[in-house]
Structure 1
């Protein structure tokens, strides 16, 4: 155990040790509380420790001693992004406007984790209202990347990604509007899954709009933890009308000797400029999947070249998100952070431009439907560069400055289309920062994306690397 501290074991390993009575839920919880006390001041990933965390661990230990039936995550701590409601524990949405807000009911995703025996450990930092690619706000401050404190851990689930990467939590819940699970996962070297839109209910998460692009999903340090969490989280809850597909339905295609999985890989064009180190990581992942028995070839996707998914998204979401933010901040303008002010100051999209953006989204969906007739998966970048410095309005890619919004260019197409997408580390920059690659499969084919991620993980030289803190 000395060589592999409890705080760096994945949730699956912790569950097995707890079941075998080799370690108690109280020991596991204390290890993570100690880690938070020691490490969190430097990265500011945890914003609230759940007051009932240790009581929950003691209750879990008593259940084991009493011989009760145990859930698959019995006694395992988990963390939750602070936009996701947690019963009796503050959910403050990264804003002084919601300071001290304590929900009376868990979000569906939180309730399902608890039903599996997991114990809420803490809430994690985010940008105000989950609306930024950096996790900074006026209430709980800025989160830092554990690999380099001068770099961002991303947003909007940046506190969650930093916590898991630094060993403050083995498993957590994030949300993803355009980048917010996969981008932070890539920037901190963990894994994150954005399942098909609607697979996991958004009940108990604010803001509600634009819910047709918003997703909630698991973040972890291992693919098997993602798979386990997904199996617990997915399925209708009778409250979210966009969450309708039963978990039992899966459109994935299993590999077989007769027909290996067909994977296309793409760096450019279609996602804008991509850093050479990121491109090399995608190429390395393509080679690894080929060595693992997949049929791998470079591809182009005309729909990505015809329509700019990021541009379409920006035109659509402004009109849908502004009313909720305007209502929440009315009379509290002094408590608004920069990105909310930016959103409310953005000109409304004209009806003509809104319709053009809707049509572009439809063409992108059509283009991917065509692509997945001949392919089982797409391998591509998550981000155009590794984790960047805090507070940038521009980023530099290949020596050329571009808008910081370009950081979302390779993730937002899969929010606009609702396709499942997963981020996994498969590289390291010359500065020692993690580089992620993105796997995408057809709608409802989560089994395929998880299988391919497991293949990469099995060959990855980066799977057991942790930041030095």
Structure 2
């Protein structure tokens, strides 16, 4: 099996295909063979798309006959199983939707195909995309390729595991509070949650609460994320949140003559953080400073006044419960843990809901004040590296917290809609990946991609993929 094909990034694969150095069929067969070899132990891929080889053969013919090809021509991609794929099952991590065949692709999938990508398969997730582990009654539990006794995260955990394990070079996940950035951190890949509305959510379920959901690319390199985002972004005329016509291209640049100013923080306002993780954030800040970028430790007082995770919990339950109730009506015996938990939660009073809305506004204002003076913010993604399966309580830096606290540094970006990149910049004493999060102001994807590319160029990480 050709490791060069399996662990090259999507941009490189597209170049090899475009120059006829390899064929799309060769690339596709290598990934299908890899799925056969390692997916039984990882359980990241839940469906292999029919017609993948035929599509690769058509892509090969297009190259050989000199046709114009897209920037991802012939490159396999995978998709989280909550994102609709025409004629390929989209089962949402639940036996309630077993065998469900969408008639149309989600906008994001259609755009990946338009760029020349070939759908390889669908990836695992928690029931209804709702938890920090990817486990459900229909397709079981996904394992982390760095250590199968640990989780690859959720809700896009199958996607992160598939990419980290060499089963896919690039794919799509969704993010309500943590779900593309956290799994990327647990498996050491790269992902981006763009500004809310930059990528349409059309064809993705659940949509409630619509104002917090995002869809985003997951891959092995910053340039892959930039390339995918350049194809995914823009209105589709169906998602009312997707209205921005601000252009973006895959060239990762910055304003000429502008000296970047970057802050970094691990708290307060995010909850406790493991010392190894905090040290990785400081190392990333130091690396930027060594390049001549103005870097300093910062705080955002609004996050200290209003704990974003608490605000989020008071807001989203009231909106998600009806969607869960409708989906499970008459199928209560097929519900798994999180659907049962969601439906058992008490209703948020209108007083608490309004108070939480006002707190969310204060947090948005707090970030706006920060970005008056800074171009980007470096934080941790998760307070700990990938954890063992099924753990519901953690002791982090001497403080005991429940599992929801893993979202402490990611959920503020869902409340505010701000863009964030998760990328690896360290390794724990146990050999597990540690990622940092690069946060930008509204619509500032080009800035954070530039910062991420700088960090990628000096990353101390040497082991980029697990041995399987």
TM-score with structure 2 setting the length: 0.98
CA contact 2:315–2:353 (8 Å) conserved in 1: yes
Rounded to whole Å, the distance in 2 between the matches of 1:11 and 1:48 is 21
Q: CA deviation at 1:217?
A: 0.4
CA contact 1:253–1:445 (8 Å) conserved in 2: no
Q: CA deviation at 1:254?
A: 2.6
Rounded to whole Å, the distance in 2 between the matches of 1:371 and 1:244 is 25
Q: CA deviation at 1:270?
A: 1.1
Name the SS of the counterpart of 2:394 in structure 1. strand
Rounded to whole Å, the distance in 2 between the matches of 1:249 and 1:320 is 32
Per the alignment, residue 228 of structure 1 pairs with 227
Per the alignment, residue 105 of structure 1 pairs with 104
CA contact 1:213–1:415 (8 Å) conserved in 2: yes
- Pairing 1:254–2:259 present: no
- Correspondences of 1:288-327 after superposition (within 5 Å): 288-327=287-326
Per the alignment, residue 198 of structure 1 pairs with 197
Per the alignment, residue 117 of structure 1 pairs with 116
Rounded to whole Å, the distance in 1 between the matches of 2:58 and 2:402 is 50
Rounded to whole Å, the distance in 2 between the matches of 1:65 and 1:298 is 54
Rounded to whole Å, the distance in 2 between the matches of 1:319 and 1:227 is 35
- Pairing 1:362–2:361 present: yes
Per the alignment, residue 168 of structure 2 pairs with 169
CA contact 1:315–1:357 (8 Å) conserved in 2: yes
Name the SS of the counterpart of 2:358 in structure 1. helix
TM-score with structure 1 setting the length: 0.98
- Correspondences of 1:313-352 after superposition (within 5 Å): 313-352=312-351
CA contact 1:265–1:299 (8 Å) conserved in 2: yes
Per the alignment, residue 446 of structure 2 pairs with 447
- Correspondences of 1:9-408 after superposition (within 5 Å): 9-248=8-247, 254=254, 256-257=256-257, 259-408=258-407
Rounded to whole Å, the distance in 1 between the matches of 2:45 and 2:398 is 35
Output one character per residue of 1:258-295: Cα deviation in whole Å (capped at 9) or x when no partner: x4100000012111110000000000000111112211
CA contact 1:231–1:247 (8 Å) conserved in 2: no
CA contact 1:126–1:157 (8 Å) conserved in 2: yes
Rounded to whole Å, the distance in 2 between the matches of 1:256 and 1:141 is 50
Rounded to whole Å, the distance in 1 between the matches of 2:225 and 2:315 is 30
Q: CA deviation at 1:401?
A: 2.0
Q: CA deviation at 1:249?
A: 6.8
CA contact 1:281–1:435 (8 Å) conserved in 2: yes
Q: CA deviation at 1:63?
A: 1.0
Rounded to whole Å, the distance in 2 between the matches of 1:154 and 1:337 is 17
Per the alignment, residue 430 of structure 1 pairs with 429
Rounded to whole Å, the distance in 1 between the matches of 2:291 and 2:203 is 40
Output one character per residue of 1:160-215: Cα deviation in whole Å (capped at 9) or x when no partner: 00000000000000000000000000000000000000000000000111110000
Of stretches 21-30 and 454-463 in structure 1, the one that deviates more from structure 2 is: 454-463
Name the SS of the counterpart of 1:319 in structure 2. helix
CA contact 2:230–2:248 (8 Å) conserved in 1: no
Rounded to whole Å, the distance in 1 between the matches of 2:358 and 2:73 is 46
Aligned residues between the structures: 466
Per the alignment, residue 411 of structure 2 pairs with 412
Rounded to whole Å, the distance in 1 between the matches of 2:181 and 2:112 is 20
CA contact 1:249–1:444 (8 Å) conserved in 2: no
Q: CA deviation at 1:255?
A: 5.2
Output one character per residue of 1:51-72: Cα deviation in whole Å (capped at 9) or x when no partner: 1111110110111122111010
- Pairing 1:459–2:458 present: yes
Change (3 A) 1:253 1:118: closer
Of stretches 100-109 and 62-71 in structure 1, the one that deviates more from structure 2 is: 62-71
Name the SS of the counterpart of 2:15 in structure 1. helix
Q: Where does structure 2 lack aligned partners over 5 or more consecutive residues?
A: none
Q: Where does structure 1 lack aligned partners over 5 or more consecutive residues?
A: none
Q: CA deviation at 1:256?
A: 4.7
Output one character per residue of 1:17-57: Cα deviation in whole Å (capped at 9) or x when no partner: 00110100000000000000000000100000001111110
Output one character per residue of 1:302-337: Cα deviation in whole Å (capped at 9) or x when no partner: 011011110010011001111011001001011001
Q: CA deviation at 1:464?
A: 5.4
Name the SS of the counterpart of 1:349 in structure 2. coil
Alpha-carbon RMSD:
1.3
Name the SS of the counterpart of 1:212 in structure 2. helix
Name the SS of the counterpart of 2:140 in structure 1. coil
